Amino acid sequence: MNAYQQKWIDVLKAANLKNWQIEPLGDDIRVTMPNITDLKLIRDNLPEVIAAFSLDNDEPQGRLKFIFKNDAELFEYILNPTEEDLSEDDEH
């Protein structure tokens, strides 16, 4: 686990989000939420929330994928995407 990833895990855990499991998954971060969580609401507000939390992270930035899921749905959000990530988006 790199320092940037660890800092994000620490920040998310410090938010005390009830019943959210936040853990490293390789070089990514998996966030498992209760089934009653509205993932669309999370996805729609995520860019602003990530931007606000970014202000507290002074570690050197790198690519980091967040995987948000509950038992029914899953979505991914990539912070600091690479050229490869961006070209994959063009293919979809």
pLDDT tens figures, 65-87: 999 999 989 999 999 999 998 88
CA dihedral defined by 17, 61, 24, 83, rounded to 10 degrees? 110
- Name the CATH code of domain 3-91 (choices 1.10.10, 3.90.1750, 3.30.70, 3.30.300): 3.30.300
* Predicted TM-score of the model (pTM): 0.86
Ramachandran bin of 61, using left for φ above 0, alpha for ψ from -120 to 50, beta for the remaining angles: beta
b/e code 20-44 from CB counts within 10 Å (16+ = b): bebeeeeeebbbbbeeebebeebee
pLDDT at 15: 87
Predicted pLDDT at 63: 94
Neighbours of 79 (CB within 10 A): 19
| pLDDT < 50 stretches in the chain | none
Angular region, 63: left φ>0, alpha ψ -120 to 50, beta rest: beta
Write the Ramachandran bin of 2: left for phi over 0, alpha for psi from -120 to 50, otherwise beta: beta
